[in-house]
Chains A and B, each alone.
Chain A
Amino acid sequence: MDSRYEIQRRPGGGGSANASPAMGAQSRRRKMPPRPADYKLQIIIIGSRGVGKTSLMERFTDDTFCEACKSTVGVDFKIKTVELRGKKVRLQIWDTAGQERFNSITSAYYRGAKGIVLVYDITKQETFDDLPKWMKMIDKYASEEAELLLVGNKLDCETDRIISKQTAERFVSRISGMRFCEASAKDNFNVEECFLKLVDDILAKMPLEIPNKDISNSILSLQPEPEVPPDLNPPRTRCC
């Protein structure tokens, strides 16, 4: 089994004492306070090669990160916490860089995602032309409930722009519920705003007042789902 799948699907529930190899920690772990987050959401970033997916997730700082780790290993995913609507939300953000061929991104990536960020490069026609193919993958594998955000990246390269904002807006208007924004990961412009809007859309779909916290935890915990062959999922009709 793919290790990514395992770590992604790991049940979030409490710790069994014998899981720890560390001496002295076991008795204390039972005293740890309850999970602090109100919601846990998985977000994936997809799009064609070179559009800046990784830059959207990580600020590039080549002189600080352990060189060996950065160049040969790279960042797999991040946990980030945001506060929205008075709720503390933990985001698990996955970057799919290096797996840009449409069929190489495993369905496991899509299945658990509450939010999908689809990225193209406003200076590269082919990355925009690829969008329908990415939408087919979303329709095939992602939950119908997943919120979608289209990001036109590299706004810092305005002079080389090929894809007008209007063109992208026309594309988005044909897909129900998809948000759109332009951003520059390089300049860190509009990136956080885009993510927050996406998270806000996800929260808007959730029942905000849940009297029993245990219930909300059980709904939102990342329990393993039964393996369903992709063919059994009826294709969505969201895309053209």
Chain B
Amino acid sequence: MAEHREGAGQAGQLSEHGHPAKEIHQLDRVVIRFAGDSGDGMQLTGDRFTSETAQLGNDISTLPNFPAEIRAPAGTLPGVSSFQVAFADYDILTPGDAPNVLVAMNPAALKANIADLPKGGTIIVNTDEFTKRNLAKVGYEANPLEDDSLAGWDVHKVGLTSMTVGALAELPVSKKDAERAKNMFALGLLSWLYSRPHESTMAFLEKKFAARPELVAANKAAFNAGWNFGETTEGFAVRYEVPPAQMAPGNYRNITGNTALALGLVAAGVKAQLPVLLGAYPITPASDILHELSKHKKLGVTTVQAEDEIAAIGVALGAAYGGALGITTTSGPGVALKGETISLAVALELPLVIVDVQRAGPSTGLPTKTEQADLNMALFGRHGEAPVAVVAAQSPVDCFHAAIEACRIALKYRTPVILLSDGYVANGSEPWLLPEISELPDLRVEYATGPNGDDGKFYPYLRDPETMARPWAVPGTPGLEHRIGGLEKADKTGDISYDPANHDFMVRTRAARIEAIDVPDIAVEDPSGEAKVLVLGWGSTYGPIGAASRALRQRGVNVAQAHLRHLSPLPKNLGEVLASYDKVVIPEMNLGQLAHVIRARFLIDVVGYNQVRGLPFTSTQLETMLEEVIKNV
């Protein structure tokens, strides 16, 4: 790859073990994909490699890819789980279009991933699993390690299982436990190959297996065996270094989108000085937010695992009525079920945050694969005129800030807010420059404490002239007893009203108050100022669009990029921005939902670029597509 440039080596030294030290080549970027059976521990291996790499100071981006089945039949194609990590000495936006290195723990992993590995790439393969039976399971008629079908690649045949078992022969662990440690052997080998620090993995193993010291010893031994194998074998003549990236000073940690989103919700509660109540029903790929939030009682977070999606949002709404920051987290199928309650929250004008970690639909679809096809549902998917605010997260780290923004809008404007994430940003990870708490926005709002009418009475639907929000009068406040509900309410008093003019007024008011939400202008990245084509995105396409735009500019092709955080209301300057370019291109992982909105709203003939493969765009495909559009302007 163009970015895979090699630097000066340092050959000829002796290693501490007395072997001739291997030549070291410097690279600026590497993409590794660990692939194996669902039970092989590939996600954990990838996580550990990522953590080691982060500690070294590289910029990182990761892409886990796993089946919906917990344990699909062993050794089959549907059971393959993989974890791709890109790391570089500069800031990167995506986990890489294609790996440079494929670690294949079995024939299924090889077969499922080989098409993604460009010729010349490195394959490290566990030969022990290439048995007749395993080959037959995935339809290999001949062993690909023994014919010339892998001729174009740099193949390293390693008996990962047998060498691990051999290395642990003296330790008091069962054969099964020894075999299970083969992922640590692979991790040790890769850590050696790319000169990664191993201290954090040692510490991790001590913590993970604290209750079973024999497993700590076994996994450490497997890791060291893999490391030493790299150092001693003739099979690897060269090892690599990727120097640290130039990154802003500060404290960092590697974070997935789901964890960042959960922490953003916790932070919002702290900055609002409100208790947080999450109502949730487990659903892929959102459940990790529930898991994370359930740990933070100390910071005032209550989690209720409800009996269903409808109850989950009901619980959150009930808590919001009582004055808490009410949140529900789910994926698309859950949002569909919550629609009636979101509509109630629109009528009640209470703060509520609905997190939709989108996955591929319709119906159960591809539960572990990503998609952006819930935008229409977020914007329009309710009965009646039921407008809500919609916010989208663009990267794993951005999930933290998007969560705070969703809570800000919900609290300040007393409205349901739908926060859109997706499987790609939810499970992907990147380094996070940890923010100072004092720099996070102050989200405090006031409850109503007394009458708000000139006549000394309390009017539950008398609005704040600036925000158009009604008072948040929580039960327990003396003198403000009032009734609210889903029936249409009279302006100001909130009494039941069937008056036609009042209904028309209230419908228009609910629409106007969403439009009146103060959202920042959209920023445009157009370094040359001469671009004629604007690429507009929203949500998780930020990484691939950004990488493609950068690649084009590096080649002297001008392109402008803008990314929407707010989808409802849209930024006030959006129309002006769109009108100042000859062409607007919108790549989306759906069939053109944002494009439809933009066309309808601004009467601009945007170019849609759409893909629904359950996988993010590659930057290369966007680069090619954009160049084509630019050429034809």
The answer to whether A binds B is no
By a beta-carbon cutoff of 8 Å, the part of chain B in contact with chain A is none
